Amino acid sequence: MNKPLVLPAPAKLNRLLHIVGRRPDGYHELQTLFQFLDHGDTLRFHLREDGEIRLTPEIPGVPAEENLIVRAARALQAESGCRLGAEIHLEKRLPLGGGLGGGSSDAATALLGLNALWQLGLTLDRLAELGLTLGADVPVFVRGHAAWGEGVGERLTPVELDTPWFVVVHPGVAVSTPAVFGAPELTRNTPPITMARALQGGASSWRNDCEATVRALYPPVAEALDWLSARAPALLTGTGACIFARLASEAEADRLLAEIAGRWPAFKARGLNRSPLHDVLDHDVLDDDVLGHDAVELDS
């Protein structure tokens, strides 16, 4: 069998999340700062000549055809008319519904990976447009740079953020995004600010407008946030359930992880302004063998 094309699907954090309004269609208008982590899922792609898309392993409760990876592959086939297919193996590290963008990142990696494997030559702009049909967070992973996001998070402006170490904690509950955005008490009228003002304020002033609602709806998240905030600056990412603490050094992250051990699942990661997916694709340019449909393995 062909050697696999192996690509990372990194996690993201919302370093800031403001809800500035609600649209007539029910979606919320946001302002946010996206940043990547050097931690995430891994996707392995093998070329198929018969057009079939097969994803392994199955994720409990998520039929294959509803998985964003398969939907991304189908969208790419429909857009390009490509008759090739792929065997895709997902090594899942990011929790489902954790606010880390795992499903969106997987979809973006599928779009970019298959665009390369199938030699389609679609631009990042077109891939980001396809990604938006799959989910509001997919375009930032496609574009691959830390960004100021507006609208539902799809209007992106690249930014350079600080790159501290983070400890990310999963409080052990599944947070329903519709429940959070549908809660009557959710803040929906934060005054919009400019990107320049947000960046000038710095990390010490950043907050997540969903946090108070998630705390009220999910006491385990409140408990973990209180515990973590007593030790380092901590925030909710997205609508949760994951929370993160910002640390000055890897040694501090290691000490905090040691203290967390046995309480909750947790990991450490470095903040990144450039997605490791793009680093891998740019560093390991597909060679002539791949152009002959014999994929090479890319180290993530």
Active site residues: 12, 137
Q: Could you give the 3-state DSSP secondary structure of residue 43?
A: strand
Separation of alpha carbons 103 and 92, rounded Å: 10
Closest CA to 160 of 273, 75, 294: 273
Cα three-residue angle 214-219-222, rounded to 5 degrees? 65
Q: Which residues pair with 54 in a beta bridge?
A: 87
Contact 67, 59 (CB under 8 A): yes
Q: Which amino acid is at 216?
A: A
Closest CA to 170 of 111, 115, 245, 233: 245
For 100-202, where are the alpha helices, taking DSSP H only?
A: 102-117, 124-132, 138-143, 177-182, 195-201
Closest CA to 271 of 149, 171, 159: 159
Q: Could you give the 3-state DSSP secondary structure of residue 187?
A: coil
Please provide residue 41's backbone torsions phi and psi, each rounded to the nearest 5 degrees: -85, 170
Q: Are strands 147-151 and 53-56 parallel, antiparallel or unpaired?
A: unpaired
Closest CA to 199 of 275, 165, 235, 148: 148
Q: Return the H-helix or E-strand segment holding 78.
A: helix 68-80
Residue 264 tokens read as 């909750």
